[in-house]
Amino acid sequence: MIDVALVSVIRRWHLREGMPIREIARRTGLSRNTVRKYLASQELEPSYPSRKSPSKLDSYEETLTNWLFRESRRHRKRKRW
């Protein structure tokens, strides 16, 4: 099985740029039949699930925002970073 990113590149080359299957096979090192298989598949690229767990920094968000705002207002030589 090939990487999802490579399938995306194969589709982009063929559908958007009009590159022939033979050229795609030559550039990727895959057989023409493999390239045809991935072009013919109607399966969309998998969408990765969004992160549902809260960040460990969420409880400090207001404090960090205030700190960054104060630091951004300081003169360059007095900043802590």
The share of the chain scoring above pLDDT 90, in percent, equals 49
* Choice between 44 and 34, residue whose per-residue pLDDT is larger: 34
**Is 20 a member of any domain?**
yes
- Note whether residue 60 is domain-resident: no
Per the model's pLDDT, the better-predicted residue between 76 and 57 turns out to be 57
Output the pLDDT for position 14. Answer: 94
Residue 77 counted as domain residue: no
Contact between 42 and 11 under an 8 Å Cβ cutoff? The reply is: no
Distance separating alpha carbons of residues 22 and 33, to the nearest angstrom: 10
- Residue 47: pLDDT band by 50, 70, 90 thresholds? low
Give the total number of structural domains in the chain.
1
On whether residue 23 sits in a domain, the answer given is yes
Does residue 46 carry a pLDDT above 70?
no
pTM: 0.52
> Is residue 78 situated within a structural domain?
no
Check: CB of residue 28 under 8 Å from CB of residue 8.
no
